[in-house]
Structure 1
Amino acid sequence: MASELTMATRRNRGGHAARPGRQGGMALLVVLLILSVMVIIASNMSGRLQLELRRTGNLTAGKQAWWYAMSAEALVSKVLAQDFKDDPNVVSLGQNWARQDAVFPVDDGKLTGRVRDLQSCFNLNSLSVPLKDGVSGDDLEKQPYQVKAFHALLKQLEVEDYEAVQLTDAIRDWTDKDTALVSSYGAEDAYYEGLTPPYLTANQWMISTDELRAVRGVSAKLYARLAPYVCALPTDKLVVNINTIKPEQAALLVALYQDKIGLDDAKRVLTSRPQKGWKDKKAMTDQMPVQVSTIQGLDAALDVKSSYFEAKLIAEVGDTRARLESVFVRGKDNKLVMLRRLSGGAE
């Protein structure tokens, strides 16, 4: 009897001794599982925190870059205003506004930009001028001065005659206010509705030269050739500042003279231009082999001052960039008015 009790006691003791070991192992596994979950959660929280910090940093840098760009815009306005004050009758490439690729260091970054005279180019919206009564759009000899000048510009850029006429009249139909074809070479809604995707003509002045890409016949290659020579102003007048045409734009001056002068003549005159520009257009036209009076419309198309300017600005803060394109118009008393502002945003 005693031996049976002893054996039972041993079995009970052995059984009680085994259970704590198994329970301890389970507890350790639970602790390890909890620790693993906590590590995963902490890792995710750390990753999210880093992402939020980067996002906040990017937003802060973007805002800072934007305000730097706005400050640069204000600086351009002041520089232009001062140049107008110094000489209200002449705008030239020798003035402060014309400094190219200026770089201004700022906290944590820099500002770069350039200003372009929007009257050193051919105003595409001048092609919207209506025909005189009784004149057919197909009669090339009786077209307005602007149309003939644009034909000449395209010829200087080695565009075929037929293609030049088609392109010119397509732009005329795009910028005029009606839906009637200006000539058999033009393009109105019926043409564009047949494209994929279809769209309509603007039937108003272009806001930007970028619109030119939507006009029939304007390929990317042709647009790249045209871009340095054209602009889009809120007027149907063609007035080009001979003081801000660069020698590499000599083809534009030849076009204004409707091919009556050679490219070498234009380059020679532009290269010999005084640093501060000509004080009047006669000082330039007297150097040409052709008299202004022999080309109807030429005199009104030439000037030595400008009213429209475009500033392209880039503000950099760290790895963030903000782009700003601003167009100014010179108003009464030489005061600048903001005409358009386009933000490229941060990148």
Structure 2
Amino acid sequence: MRKIDKEKGASLLSVLVIVMLMSVAAIAATDALARSVLIIKSSSARAEIFWTARGAADAAATYLTKALEMNEGALNSESELFAQTITLPAGNGVVVVQAREASNCFNLNALFNSAGDGEVSDASLQAYDDLLVAAEFDDAEAESLAQKLADWIDADYSTRTYGAEDGYYASQAESYRAANTKLRSVSELKAIAGYDPEVFARIEHLVCLRPEQEQSVLNINTLSLEQAPLLVALYSQELSLDDARALIDSRPAGGWLSKEGFIQQDAVMKIAPDARNDMVLALASDYLSADINIGTGDLITNYQALYRRSETGNVALVSMVRREF
């Protein structure tokens, strides 16, 4: 009888162990299933938000095209286009689009020469050096920053006098290599020697990346005071930073009616004609950007879209990226 009792006890214990293991497995399976469902829902929500943003960006392109048709693309800092937002319904939420000027910047892709051989244009590099000096870096620091950027993007592995190539980056605590190609974003500057957070903050509003390898024209009616260095570097080195700021600050309400109105200002007239680059001036904007905010419940997702206006007047989406804050 004792033997039978022991066998029953052992069987009962085995059953309890099996039940316990099955319970653990069931809980694990349920938890895994719940996580999978959550991941699927999250992925679906992200995809829905992205396509909502893309639809809003395309709708904004149509709106911008129509808005600019009325004045052939001419914009000034007081333009209604910049003052008002566009609100669109989107499923269970809303999309708010805010248009902004995006023409007034130094195109870092213009640093490459037109031959397409991955080499840096000396003239464009000098213009970038001039921009840094106009942004109140001293001559030595400006030259060093310009050459380090040139080494980062050019195709060769030769280090310029004040530049930095793979040898420098390999010696860092977390080693890496120079890109030796075009920048992928303006924030990539922070990976380049010398471009610490303070330096980056001083030039972020002056530089940009555009698809082509040409400098964008400057819309003299939307230039801000902090963008005055662009006039010095791209329009005329004989224009002082103080004069550039004064020109922007004294701009008439609604902006200049023509390029000639700007050129006839005293600060400009004292500059020799051959020392001016009048071709860089415009009253219209080639590029616009838009902040796209998607609100669904308590969640707000932010994107930034870049648009280009063609010679025909059509505004087309160039790129769209999600912004993290």
Q: Does the alignment reach a TM-score above 0.5?
A: yes
Alpha-carbon offset, residue 227 of structure 1: 0.9
Q: How far has the Cα of 1:57 moved from its partner?
A: 1.5
> Between the two proteins, what is the percent identity of the paired residues?
25
SS in 2 for 1:69: helix
Residue of structure 1 equivalent to 2:32: 48
The more displaced of 54-63 and 39-48 is: 39-48
User: Which residue, 228, 235, 243 being the options, matches 2:221?
Assistant: 243
1:298 maps to 277
User: Against the structure 1 CA distance between its residues 46 and 200, is the aligned structure 2 distance closer, same or farther, given a 3 Å change threshold?
Assistant: closer
User: What amino acid sits opposite 1:303 in the alignment?
Assistant: A
Q: Give the partner amino acid of 1:218.
A: Y
Q: State the Cα distance separating 1:240 from its structure 2 match.
A: 1.0
**Correspondence 1:87 to 2:71:** yes
C-alpha deviations, 1:112-163, integer Å up to 9, x for none? 5544433211233444569xxxxxx9xxxxx85x666544432243311122
Match of 1:331 among 307, 310, 325: 310
The correspondence of residues 1-347 of structure 1 with structure 2, limited to 5 A, is: 28-99=12-83, 106-111=90-95, 114-128=98-112, 150-169=128-147, 171=149, 187=163, 191-195=164-168, 196=170, 197-199=176-178, 201-202=180-181, 208-213=185-190, 217-233=194-210, 234-237=212-215, 239-255=217-233, 256-258=235-237, 260-263=239-242, 265-273=243-251, 276-291=254-269, 294=272, 296-315=275-294, 317=296, 324-339=303-318, 341-344=319-322
Deviations 1:212-240 (A, max 9, x none): 44655433432221110112331334521
Normalised TM-score (structure 2): 0.74
| Native 8 Å contact 1:312 1:326 kept in 2 | yes
Residue in 2 that maps onto 1:133: none
Letter of the 2:65 counterpart: A
For 2:36 and 2:246, the matched residues in 1 are separated by 60
CA distance, structure 1, for counterparts of residue 208 and residue 23 of structure 2? 61
Contact map agreement 1:98 1:116 (CA 8 A) in 2: yes
User: Per the alignment, do residues 77 and 238 of structure 1 end up closer, same or farther by CA in structure 2, a change over 3 Å counting?
Assistant: closer
3-state DSSP of counterpart to 1:228: coil
Q: Report if aligned partners of 2:103, 2:219 keep a CA contact under 8 Å in 1.
A: yes
1:305-342 Cα shifts (integer Å, max 9, x gaps)? 12223345454556777664443322242113343x35
> How many aligned residue pairs are there?
310
- Specify the SS of the correspondent of 1:54: helix
SS of 1:310's equivalent in the other structure is strand
Q: How large is the RMSD of aligned CA atoms in angstroms?
A: 4.1
SS in 1 for 2:267: coil
TM-score, normalised by the number of residues in structure 1: 0.70
**Partner AA of 1:221 in structure 2:** E
